[in-house]
Amino acid sequence: MRSCNNCGYKGNHGKMAFDVIKAYNFLVMHGVVFSVRPYQTSLKPTLVHLHVNHKWTGHIASRVLITSGKGKRELKKELEIYYYESGFDSFKEWLTELTRMHGEKSTTQYWAIYKVTLVKEDE
């Protein structure tokens, strides 16, 4: 099995981009962050390279699906539960940022919440 050019890991792993620096900084500072995506990936834990502004940060994290659903009412309930480790000051701020990033459809259609845990920083 070939190893990754970036980190040397010999296994399947992906990429996770953080376009909201506030959430990424929370992850680096606290080692964990909850992140909403307008799609669902694998149900099993996945190692991911973390990217900010399209550049690899050197950080590797584990991404685990926590919950998923459809519709704004259900999403609001979930954001209220997980916002305390999202990097945002309130679930409303998180919802506003999600809408700004992905459009209104991202809150009314399918969504998924992931727990992202920092694994290591490459040197």
Domain spans, the chain = 14-121
Using CA of residue 61, residue 54, residue 56, residue 5, what is the dihedral sign? positive
- Per-residue pLDDT band for 74 (boundaries 50, 70, 90) equals confident
pLDDT computed for residue 123 by the predictor: 44
Q: Which residues of 71-105 are buried (b: 16+ CB within 10 A; e: fewer)?
A: eeeebeebbeebbebbbbeebeebbebbeeebeee
Token pair, residue 119, equals 């694994």
Sheet (strand 46-52) strand order: 14-18, 46-52, 55-70, 110-121, 32-37
Average model confidence (pLDDT) for the chain?
83
Q: Which of the listed CATH numbers 2.40.30.10, 1.10.287.1080, 1.10.3720.10, 2.30.130.30 matches domain 14-121?
A: 2.30.130.30
pLDDT in tens, 89-103: 998 999 899 888 888
Q: Are strands 14-18 and 46-52 parallel, antiparallel or unpaired?
A: parallel
Q: Write down the pLDDT at residue 22.
A: 93
Average pLDDT over residues 10-16: 72
Give the pLDDT confidence score for residue 23 in this predicted structure: 94
